[in-house]
């Protein structure tokens, strides 16, 4: 899956899960009813969704210009941190305004999300890429994404880290692991 479809599916899943968790956490932390925290979480999710679309478009444009486009651990960490830093700068004033609290109080309230979201973003991106494959911006020129995956499996098998099919059901075991 590539292009706009990929971005919409990515952002939709990311934000729906974030909305559910955000409402529950804000209700628990603030003691406010879900009728107050739910709309706030929806507003925050809307801002985050818009930023997510813009940020991922910019990040993938930057990624396309890199000599090595591989999504390394370092690149994934950079992605998560840059996304979160700008998002916090947008959301803290919004939280303060909505709940009629100071920026410091809003920042303290948002601290839970400041800590949680980079880990969530990292894990969600990793899982999404595992399920749907990486975007074309993360594939080096002339590299078939399927080839990379099969090379990684062969390498793991050589090192003894992947289960080696043997005996009864070996064909099913190797096709299930593929």
Q: Please report which confidence band the pLDDT of residue 107 belongs to, taking 50, 70 and 90 as the band edges.
A: very high
Between CA 42 and CA 151 the distance in angstroms is 43
Rounded to two decimals, the pTM is: 0.56
- Could you read off the pLDDT of 38-82 as tens digits, one per residue? 899 889 888 988 998 899 999 999 989 988 888 889 998 999 889
């Amino acid at each position: 899956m590539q292009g706009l479809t990929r971005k919409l599916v990515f952002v939709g899943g990311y934000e729906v899960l974030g909305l559910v968790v955000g409402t529950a956490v804000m209700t628990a932390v603030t003691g406010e009813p879900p009728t107050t925290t739910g709309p706030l979480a929806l507003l925050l999710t809307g801002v985050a969704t818009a930023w997510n679309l813009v940020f991922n478009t910019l990040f993938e444009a930057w990624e396309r210009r890199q000599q090595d486009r591989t999504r390394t651990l370092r690149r994934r960490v950079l992605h998560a941190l840059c996304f979160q830093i700008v998002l916090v700068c947008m959301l803290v004033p919004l939280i303060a305004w909505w709940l009629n609290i100071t920026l410091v109080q809003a920042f303290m309230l948002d601290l839970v999300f400041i800590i949680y979201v980079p880990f969530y973003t990292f894990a969600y991106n990793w899982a999404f890429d595992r399920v749907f494959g990486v975007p074309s911006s993360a594939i080096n020129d002339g590299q078939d994404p399927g080839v990379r995956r099969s090379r990684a499996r062969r390498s793991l098998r050589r090192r003894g880290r992947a289960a080696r099919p043997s005996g009864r059901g070996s064909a099913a075991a190797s096709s299930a692991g593929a």
